[in-house]
Amino acid sequence: MIRILVVDDSPAVRELLAHIVSEAPGLVLAGCAADGDEALRMAHELRPDVVTMDVQMPKLNGFDATRRIMQECPTRVIIVSGTENQGEIGASFLAIEAGALMQVRRPLGIGNPGHAASARELVRAIRAMAEVRVVRRWGAAARAARPVRGRQRRLVLIGASTGGPTVLRDILAELPPGFALPVVMVQHLAPGFTRGLAEWLSSASGYPVALASDGLRLRGGMAHLVPDCCQPAIDADLCMRLTDGEPEHGMRPSVSHLFRALHPDLRADSVAILLSGMGRDGGAELKQLREDGALTIAQDRASAVVYGMPGEAVRLDAAMLVLRPAEIGKMLHGLTSEAAAMTRTYGI
């Protein structure tokens, strides 16, 4: 049984979440907290398997409560947001930075036509996160192979899921201003959080990040996140294409689609990176990119919150390099001289 601590300052929301948890097979309501101070105390006392955490609360807010919980009694934390306000959505990424695993939308109220589907989404997230190991470090880092030199690269593609936002921050923080290679990222998130992630990454890493748009010409000096509910492709002229294609591995956008829908003329000139996340999204396609001449990288086991996606890449021998996040950033930084030559050649 998975024991849940519900944290929200609204009595009505606490009652709603408690009802959903209590009705779900395999879940048990361990307790409810009305603010961050109470959440911290109850996390110590009850030792729940998962905490659902509100962001805006009196006394200790959700960000500080998450940070304290992760310092004092590490527990799986899911941020539950009930607002469309981009400021609050952006603030929720501070809780991700503090150690929360993911964000989900607050389920709709009983009687709302969308209640059942939104409640199932919360239950699915709780069950999935309950499988994540709380301890983030499991020993020495994997040894990295030496990079393949001599090939001019034109593009960086990155795929991530659970645990990905802070890894993306660490990678982008290593890139110099005006880094010559365009960066395109797929990060699995609940709908509505991608714009907030882009804003948080820009602020936290110091490297500019924006949402991609259909027809966008990709250029250096900027990273782009693929937005919600669309599948990405990249043309030979480095133009972004966004479609309403079917989900892959249950995801839209999916990493597999990004890697596979890269134009053949760009495949050998690209760097493709697979980061922390559940499942196998992107693994087989990373292997194909390696066979096509791309430089392929997977995050190492020691630094990954969830080793599913990078682990699948390693199992398939899809990754030429296995690196920690900061090492990935430094390696990309080291491609700057090659990218400068590329810029002169291709005029990007």
Q: What is the rounded distance in angstroms from the CA atom of residue 325 to the CA atom of residue 75?
A: 23
| For the chain, counts of helices (H) and of strands (E) | 13, 14
Measured distance CA(8)–CA(53) in Å, rounded: 7
| Pair type for strands 231-234 and 27-33 | unpaired
The residue-averaged pLDDT of 298-318 equals 94
Q: What is the pLDDT of residue 136?
A: 39
Q: Assess whether pLDDT exceeds 80 at residue 92.
A: no
* Helix, coil or strand: residue 76: strand
Query: Residue 185 falls within a domain, yes or no?
Result: yes
Distance between start and end Cα atoms, the chain? 54
- In a shared domain, residues 170 and 210: yes
Distance CA 204, CA 85 (A): 19
Tokens standing for 111? 């009687």
- The pLDDT value recorded for residue 94 is 79
- pLDDT exceeds cutoff 60 at 104: yes
| Residue type for position 59 | K
Domain annotation covers residue 146: no
Q: Are residues 77 and 177 in the same domain?
A: no
Q: Indicate whether 50 and 108 sit together in one domain.
A: yes
- Residue whose C-alpha is closest to residue 256's, from 287, 235, 227: 287
pTM score of the predicted model: 0.80
pLDDT in tens, 282-304: 999 999 999 999 999 999 999 99
Number of domains within the chain: 2
| Percentage of the residues of the chain whose pLDDT score is greater than 90 | 74
Q: Is residue 188 annotated as part of the catalytic site, yes or no?
A: yes
Active-site residue, from 49, 54, 188, 205 = 188
Specify whether 314 is located in the same domain as 202: yes
Q: How many other C-beta atoms lie within 10 A of the C-beta of residue 215?
A: 10
Closest listed residue to residue 283, CA positions, set 313, 252, 263:
313
**Are 167 and 303 spatial neighbours (Cβ–Cβ below 8 Å)?**
yes
314 in a structural domain: yes
Q: Is 224 a catalytic residue?
A: no
* pLDDT for 127: 94
> pLDDT tens digits, residue range 122-172?
999 999 999 887 743 333 333 343 444 556 899 999 999 999 999 999 999
Rounded CA-CA distance 21/4 in Å is 8
Per-residue confidence at 335, pLDDT binned at 50, 70, 90?
Answer: confident
What distance lies between CA 294 and its chain's CA centroid? 23
Beta carbons of 86 and 158 less than 8 angstroms apart: no
Alpha-carbon distance 106 to 122, whole Å?
A: 8
Q: Same domain for 60 and 124?
A: yes
The answer to whether position 316 is within a domain reads: yes
Residue 70 and residue 201 in one domain: no
In the three-class reduction of DSSP (H, G, I as helix; E, B as strand; rest coil), residue 26 is classed as: coil
281 is known as an active-site residue: yes
Q: Which of 35, 81, 92, 161 is catalytic?
A: 161
Question: What CATH number is given to the structural domain containing 11?
Answer: 3.40.50.2300
Residues 240 and 306 in one domain: yes
Same domain, 172 and 78: no
Domain membership flag for residue 264: yes
| Number of other residues whose CB lies within 10 A of the CB of residue 108 | 16
Spatial distance between the Cα atoms of 321 and 300, rounded to a whole number of angstroms: 9
Q: How far is CA 102 from the centre of its chain?
A: 8
Residue 56 in contact with residue 146, Cβ under 8 Å?
Answer: no
Separation between Cα atoms, residue 95 and residue 67, nearest integer Å: 7
Inter-residue contact 284 to 292 (CB < 8 Å): no
| Res 93: pLDDT | 81
Both tokens assigned to 277: 């996340």
**Residue 214 and residue 122 in one domain:** no
Residues shown for the chain: 348
Give the pLDDT confidence score for residue 95 in this predicted structure: 82
Looking at the structure, do residues 110 and 198 belong to the same domain, yes or no? no
* Final residue belonging to a domain, choices 113, 129, 145: 129
pLDDT of residue 248: 95
Tell me the H-state helices in 130-229: 164-173, 194-205
Identify the pLDDT of residue 343. 40
The enclosing H or E element of 41 equals helix 36-46
CA distances from 128 to 76, 78, 121, 141 (A): 11, 11, 11, 25
Q: Is the link from the previous residue into 58 a cis peptide, with omega within 30 of 0?
A: no
Domain containing residue 27: 2-129
CATH code, domain carrying 159: 3.40.50.180
In tens, the pLDDT along 186-224 reads 999 988 899 999 999 999 999 999 999 999 999 999 999
327 part of a folded domain: yes
| Averaged pLDDT, 90-117 | 87
pLDDT digits (tens, 9 = 90+) for 236-267: 999 999 999 899 999 999 999 999 999 999 99
Q: Which amino acid is at 96?
A: I
Q: Are 51 and 194 in the same domain?
A: no
236 found inside a domain: yes
pLDDT of residue 266: 96
Does residue 324 share a domain with residue 178? yes
Beta strands in 154-294 (DSSP E): 155-160, 183-187, 209-211, 223-225, 231-234, 240-243, 270-274
Report if residue 299 sits inside a domain. Answer: yes
